[in-house]
Every structure is written in C-alpha cells, then in structure tokens.
Amino acid sequence: MPQVTEEAAKRAEEIKNEANEHFKKQQYERAIELYTAAIELDDNTAIYYGNRSLAYLRTECFGYALEDASKALELDKSYVKGYYRRASAYMSLGKFKLALKDYETVSKTRPNDRDARLKFQECQKVVKMIMFQKAIAVEENTKTVAQSIDLRSMVIEDDYEGPGLEEGMVTENFMLELMEHYKAQKKLHRHHAYKILLDIKKQLMKLATLVDVPIPDGTKFTVCGDIHGQFYDLMNIFKLNGLPSTTNPYLFNGDFVDRGSFSVECIFVLFGFKLLYPDHFFMSRGNHESVTMNQMYGFQGEVKAKYTAQMADLFTEVYNWLPLAHCLNSRVLVMHGGLFSTDDVTLDDIRKTERNRQPPETGIMCELLWSDPMPGKGRAPSKRGVGIQFGSDITWNFLEKNNLEYIIRSHEVKSEGYEVTHGGNCITVFSAPNYCDTMGNKGAFITMTGGDLKPKFTTYEAVPHPPVKPMAYANSILSLFS
C-alpha cells in the first residue's frame, strides 16, 4: 500500500468530518461525495469506507454499501462497525444467512458486546423463521392460499357501514365510496378485501408477462411510478389528473407498497380500478412486490395488523402474477427497473419469461425489476447489489434491436419526480413525493397521447397525511441495523 502523507491524512480527516455533518442533516449524496474525496486522499482508513457504506445504505445503494463495508474489514478486521454495515447491506438484500455470519463473528470476537449479541439473536430468529416458512411451503405446495379461502365464513356484520361490492363486483360507486372510506382511515370489510384479491388473481393469471397496450390517436394515457404506500399522495394524483376511467387510462409502474404506512389502502384502490377497468388500467410488478421486501419494509406487517397473516400470503400469490412490462403502441417499453446484462434480449424473450415466482437474483425478470441507468456507456455492477447499471449505448442498442422509441422506468427517487437521460431514450418517473417523509423530492407522472407518444411531465408536492410514520409496520429488526 502506498504511504499517505501526513498532510493528505490530515486533509482527509477534515473532509470526513465535513461529510459527517452533511450525513447528520440527511444530505446523503453530498456526504457520499465528501467521503469519496477523503478516500481519494487516504484509501487506507477503514472508517472512511464504513461511513460511506452507511450513507449508501441510506440511499438504498446496497451493493455499494456491501462493497465499502467489505473493504473496511479488509483494511481492519477489528473494525466492528464494518460488520454492522455489511450485515445491514446483506439484510437489505435478503441475504439473511450472510448477515447472521457477520454477527456471529462479532459475538465470538467480542463476547461481552451486548449490542452485537442482541443483533445476532434477532438475525438468528429471522433465519429460523424463513427456514420454517420454507418447510411449511414444501409441505403445503399442493394447495394455494386462494384455494383455502372460504368467503362464506366471512359474514358481513349488520353494523358494518363501509362500502360493499355489488353482487360481488367492483363498481364505480364502490370505488368512490372506498376512497372516501380510506381517507377517513376506516377499513374495508375482510369479506370484500378477500373477494377483490381472489378476483384480481384470476384476472392477472390471464395476462401476458409483457402486455401490449394500444393507445388510439389523440387518446390521453398516464404513466405513474412508485407509490410506496403513500395513499394520500395517490389520491392527489387522481385529483390532479382525473380518476381512472375508460377515457382516462393509467399504468402504475410497480412498488405500490412498502415503506409508506398506507400500503393496504393503496393496493386495494389500485386492484379495484384494475377490476373495474381491466382494459384501461394497468399495473407492472416492482421489486417491492416480493416476499423479502414485504417482510422487511412494512407491507407484510401492515397486512397482518389490518387483516391476517393468511391475507399477506395471498398477496404474495397475487403479486407473482403481475405483468413484468408493458409496451405502448409497440413503440415505448415500460418496466419498473431497467435493461439487461446481455445485448440479445428481445421483446419475445420478455414475453417468454416465467413470472409466477419470486424474483430470481439474475436474468431477465431480475433485471426488469432491479436495474438502473447510469451516465456514460457500457454496463457496471449494480449499486443495489441486484440487477445491473446500464449506459446510453445499452439503451440505444436495445431500442434499435426491438424497434422502440424510448423506455420508461421508475425505481429511483428523483428530486423533480422524473429524469430524462440517455439522450431522451430513458425516462425515470417516481410518483411518491417527499419519499418516506424525509427526501423532500417532488412526485411526477407522465401523460402522452396515442399519436406521437411524446411525454409530458406533471410534478407535485406531497400532501398532508394522518400522523402515522413511514415504516410504522416495518420489521423491527431493521431498526437494529440502522
């Protein structure tokens, strides 16, 4: 290792301290820039990598966080926070056994460290729970959750005053009442909730993995990005842009749930509109429509709190049937994450992709849900640790190969709610303003008309919501790893 001069080491320490101040103010991107500057001056100090790892965790760059934590431990095996950071990254990526291994290491080397012992024990519980769930799933794989639901046993009490399905069907009046019911922080009766889930599963099972969406000339079409359980902001979208209808079609591009604490309300409204307008309301799967994400980031806990564990399992079955992408007029491809690790992927390859499963760690389905664009050209390992990063040439080649004009994706917070990159070929739209009540970003949605498909962006600020904090239902173990 090259020697660091005393002057460089002193300046690096000053920059690190400045970065720490930005971190305290939740200015994570600036903190990352400064930690990087400190590392450029002195790349032999574990704490610089450890601090940057934590900042990457805050910005959900779990792949980079993992890399930095590992580098910190390479420099100093006794750097305990390095194990904590790496465990957090592993936990965020659903790699619970690897997280457990890090805490076991700390517990053995520091047997009197109560904090490490507590985290090891909690992580161990998660691993045992997952192993137990897998064992049960193998035993019960002959019968789906949907098949085990008995709606007749779910009697609607006489004193229930909420919205009701009309002859078992979602109607426009039901949807209007449901939204008002939710605004008043009331719950939909379990009978109606289960019926919606059973019906939406049947509907989604009939769809293709890649759905072709025709938009007639002159017809308006709206694409929304991540909602993340921010129900009151979802209502604001409909206030600004009109309710979904046969003349006002929408596509919601994944991550309907998690983090925000009104995810149940969001998903039932969206599923309700999908049932009401099956040919004019579209939903793509996001990376958060998965078991691991729902276990960690709140949706599973919220469903259990508002309904039952059985319903949480039913949601998992339903999410497995969500389409992975939509193609608008054979000219614009919309997916939650992004493009692929190879140059040969075609629309037909997406159509042939088996989607009725949990997202794998590699391949087309994984990359549709997890990948991100990057400046420059080529490909790079994902900052998230899953999927890839792809440059402008990758986007251009994909469009050229598949005779497309541009792609729309979501998956990333943007300060203005949207971002146009790769020479206009790649558009990101994110529809959850002031994400997690902390990010200060605007939300956005895209409108276009069927003829030219030229994107128009509408941005908006967050609206007030009841005093329930984001992540209120998240797995309690997350707080241990922050």
Distances from the Cα of 442 to the Cαs of 206, 283, 326, 447, 458, in angstroms?
Answer: 35, 22, 25, 16, 10
Report CA dihedral (179, 180, 186, 187) to the nearest 10 degrees. -30
Contact between 260 and 432 (Cβ < 8 Å): yes
Buried b (16+ CB within 10 A) or exposed e, 21-46: ebbeeeebeebbebbebbbebbeebb
Confirm whether 189 is a catalytic residue: no
- Could you tell me the two tokens for 241? 């842009």
Q: How many CB atoms lie within 10 A of CB 13?
A: 16
DSSP string of 166-223, one letter each residue? BTTB--HHHHHHHHHHHHTT----HHHHHHHHHHHHHHHHTS-SEEEE---TT-EEEE
Token pair for 183: 């605004």
- The length of the chain in residues reads 482
Catalytic residue among 280, 288, 411, 465: 288
- Which H/E stretch holds residue 106? helix 96-109
d(CA 359, CA 482): 25
The span from the first CA to the last CA of the chain, in angstroms, equals 32
Distance CA 412, CA 458 (A): 17
Contacts of 49 (CB under 8 A, 6+ apart): 39, 68, 69, 71, 72, 75, 82
Cβ neighbour number for residue 205 with a 10 Å cutoff: 13
- For 83, residues 6+ apart whose C-beta sits below 8 A from its C-beta are 69, 73, 102, 103, 105, 106
Q: Which residues are catalytic?
A: 288
